[in-house]
Amino acid sequence: MNDLFTPLDIQQQSFKRALRGYDPEEVDEFLDRIAENLQGYVEKIRDLERKLETSDEQIKECRELRHSLNEAILFAQQSAEEKIKSSTQQAELTLKEAQVKADAIVEEAMGRIEEQKRELGRLMQVRQQFVAEMKGTLSKFETLIGLVSESGRPPETR
């Protein structure tokens, strides 16, 4: 038999009649009050059990949400780390490409400088030849002028 009493158990409880016992009306009235109080407690317990069940569901939802948030944070951290790594690699690649281009530009400029030095050397040789030829021509003219001035007449051309 169940050890817990229900309000109905209390209301249906009956006692033997004795000569010198308690007043049955008082006992019945007291049992009715106990049954009412017990019914109130039963309702409160049921209400608290429903609230507890609701709270348990909310706790479960919160735990699931916390788990989801933790996963989202972990994913965001991994994604950020991957983006940083990718950006770093891209920056390094861009830097290497820029260095290669800069080296090519420097090499091209050095080639042009060498070419211009060679051209300058060639032009200096041409100038020296021209100066030498002009000196030779001037020397011939000087000689001719000297001959003309000595004889008073121009030399014969052959």
Give the pLDDT of the chain (158 residues) as one tens digit per residue. Answer: 456 777 787 778 777 777 777 777 888 888 888 888 888 888 999 999 999 999 999 999 999 999 999 999 999 999 999 999 999 999 999 999 999 999 999 999 999 999 999 999 999 999 999 999 999 999 998 888 888 777 766 666 55
Residue 127 placed within a domain: yes
pLDDT at 1: 41
Q: What is the dihedral of CA 131, 134, 140, 143, to 10 degrees?
A: -70
Residue 156 placed within a domain: no
pLDDT at 158: 54
pLDDT at 152: 66
Residue 11 placed within a domain: yes
Residue 38 placed within a domain: yes
Say which DSSP state 11 is in: H
Residue 2 placed within a domain: no
CA distance 158 to 155: 9
pLDDT at 36: 86
Residue 158 placed within a domain: no
Q: What are the residues whose beta carbons fall under 8 Å from the beta carbon of 5, sequence distance 6 or more? A: 38
Model's pTM, two decimal places? 0.46
pLDDT at 18: 73
Short-list 30, 37, 42, 53, CA closest to 4:
42
Full residue range of the structural domain in which residue 87 is found = 7-151
Residue 157 placed within a domain: no
Residue 117 placed within a domain: yes
pLDDT at 154: 62
- Contact yes or no for 31/63 (Cβ under 8 A): no
Q: How far is CA 3 from the centre of its chain?
A: 66
Short-list 30, 116, 2, CA closest to 11:
30
The count of structural domains within the chain is 1
